[in-house]
Amino acid sequence: MLYAILGLIVGLIAGFFASRYFFKKQLQKNPPINEKMIRAMYMEMGRKPSEAQIKRIMASVKSQYK
């Protein structure tokens, strides 16, 4: 009985870290926002974004997932 409980606890901890790793990897590969979305948001606000602004926003988004 003790081995079953110990195995369950170890499995939960290992599963948590494995799922966290795969989730971060997936977010880095497929970010939830891209440059086209940033341009569209700026256009909705009535502004024309520069490439420097877009690159700065993309860098800040990518830094959040590391």
Cβ–Cβ under 8 Å, residues 31 and 61: yes
- Tokens 């081995």 belong to residue: 3
Q: State the pTM of this model.
A: 0.54
Q: What is the pLDDT of residue 19?
A: 97
Condensed to tens digits (0 to 9), the pLDDT of residues 13-37 reads 999 999 999 998 888 788 788 889 9
